[in-house]
Structure 1
Amino acid sequence: MVATAGGNSVKIWDLIGGGKMVYSMESHNKTVTSICVGKLGKESGEEALQYRIFSVALDGYMKVFDYAKMKVTHSMRFPAPLMSIGSSLDCMTRAIGSSNGIIFAGRRKAKEDVGESKVGNFWALGSVEDPQRRGLRPTYFRYFHRSQGEKPNEGDHLIMRQKKVKLAEHDKLLKKFRHKEALVSVLGGKNAENVVAVMEELVARRKLLKCVVNLDEEELGLLLGFLHKHSTMPRHSALLTGLTRKVLEMRAEDIRASDALKGHIRNLKRSVQEEIRIQHSLQEIQGVISPLLRIAGRR
């Protein structure tokens, strides 16, 4: 029997049988760089003498191949591509050379240390079904999920994760640049502060007047109803008074064609007239009080 390595496979040839290939082992993912033969057991004793083929490759794996059973029995991974492998005459020690200049040397465990497993712990190799576990690195997915299933001890201090802030419907629409839908959505609510905040955001984006132009009759009725209730409020009047004037100028024809919109305009007109009357009354009161305050200040 002759073993050869080529590419990512190790092939067994029968020279006596005419040089035909008996088996091809293709368990490596990259090029096989070196192979050697080792033996298990002793020629005289309880253990029968068994031979294995050891192969190393650029994928960082060392494979142990039993060519009597034609299968890979053991596998071990190293942290660097492997270039060569060799063993001592008694097959108790092996050395593996890697591409970064490091030599990995190992010695076969004594019989009393092996215990019940005789072949599986040869040179402290892991089996194919249970390979050696890699160390965690920040590039591994398991690195970010480590210890998440652990339960806290009695003296541990728990730091709770902050709950994610849920955005309102109009905020979601603003993030998607759906300006008209955001304005209509907030007008349907009952919070005047949110409506004014959305209008100020649309003013900053220079989209408020364009939204007003694109409103249909029902949506325009919502806007006029809001202006009727809040345009005379001192904290919002600076923005809403100017907006009311623009709405009347831009949608005058639509307002004349709808009785419902005319009703909103009549209500808006009454509230503005009432506010003007109140302001005149306050100015008259101020005119009476101001001279009295001056006279009181001189004394």
Structure 2
Amino acid sequence: MEYEPNDYQKLQIRRYAPRSIRETAEGKYWRHFKTPIVSKQFGAVSHIDFCQQYPFDLAVTASTRVILYNGRAPNVVGRTISRFKDVAYSGCFRSDGRLVVAGGQDGIVQVFDANSRSVLRQFKAHKRPTRVARFGADKLHVLSGSDDVTARWWDVSSGTQVLRLDGHRDYVRAAAGSPNSPDVWATGAYDHCVKLWDLRAGNSAILGLDHGAPVEDVVFFPTGALAVTAGGNYLCVWDILGGGRLLKRLDNFQKTVTCIRLSPLAGPESAAAPRMLAGSLDGHVKIFELDSFRVTHASKYPAPVMSLGLSPDCRLLAVGLADGTLSVRKHARPKVVPGAPGLPKPERKYQRRLTAANYRYFIRGQSSRAAATDFRVLRQRQARLQPYDKLLRRFRYREALDAALATRQPQVVVSLLEELAARGGLVAALAGRNAEGLRPLLRHLVKYIGEPRYTKLLSNVGHRLLDTYAEVVGASPAVDRLLRALHNRIAEELGVMGQLAQLAGVLEPLLAASLAAGAGI
């Protein structure tokens, strides 16, 4: 009896998981940043800031200069602001991109016109170097932090100091404004503390956080409910609305973490997947997802990372190094959300109406997919059978196994052996073989019996084969050599398994002690 061609079901080749972990979509997204555009500066690149308005220009602070690069062509020589007597610090754009503020080694905070680069305001109350300066959300005020352990709130329109914030005991090196309120700011200093200020309440801090190491940077999350601080070789995530509770400590670096940035639109497929980027003196920039704060990607740079920036459309990734190198990488396919702040509105494309005068009218719908409620009529196609399928259809099990072995594909052989076992034809496929017919099967056992995905099935096949041909062992030297090779391979695998079992026994108490210490038992 034979199956009709339309009734026979082809042998389904078994699919196994890949041996190695494939690159994730997250890793592919960050690897799509092209070869970096490298620019050599006159000193260490201490700060990078992207403008929030299209085309997302970037301000690079290095040595005694603040250089403004065009976001569309970062490889072109930028406009240089060099109105500093000594080292410049923390060049930042205002939210509309029209003004730039920067501190200096002489303690003076200066406000510049981004186009003409002329000095518009100078604030001279600080007595020591001013390492941080930021525009307020109202565009009319500036917050500065200095090595004189104070932070000051300035009125840009009048050029006067509005408020002096005292409370730190060491250099103030970081500041960030809350997205929820233009009057709430956080400052970080080398006294290991982060202070939260409400400018409406005067110069008294409303909340204090102990980072445990000199604070290099502080950033609010987009919701304003959380904040992250960098200092030492770790990051701390704080619940601001929960009273400053420490949520997570991230020890993923070997040296001091110098900078943090949050990417509002970054993600492998969706703009709803923000990421946190952090750079360190160990030369690494690491990307964290914000659910469990797990590292999803890391990049290594040839020198310590001093600063980094990511454009609002996630098209440009800029990293500043301690040796004066500015590395700017452009994404091959940036993920841009239409209507995002600062982006130009997409042009509406004219769509031609389909009529009978157009050829596309007659082929419409051919590439459309069927809906879940549609009734599908499948076309009857004759299956193209492989040699082992044709032999299996005729119940010629021994020849079908030989044809599968001839493919030298272990998935095909394993699938056929499983099909023969289900049909009860495995004994018939193994029996009645001479030395010439045994050698391909033994070679396959020697090669693949050590693979964990095939071991169980091939071990049963090997036992059945030895039971069948035990009486004729020694009749063929070639078969005997393969049997000895099979014995040696099994002995080698058993030795490896014994070593792994010993190693697991050594690691088990160490892991148990580590888990107990982490749980505070």
Q: Please report the TM-score for the alignment, with normalisation by the length of structure 1.
A: 0.46
Structure in which a larger fraction of residues adopt strand: 2
Which of 1 and 2 has higher RCO (CA within 8 Å, sep 6+)?
Answer: 2
* Larger-gyration structure (1/2): 1
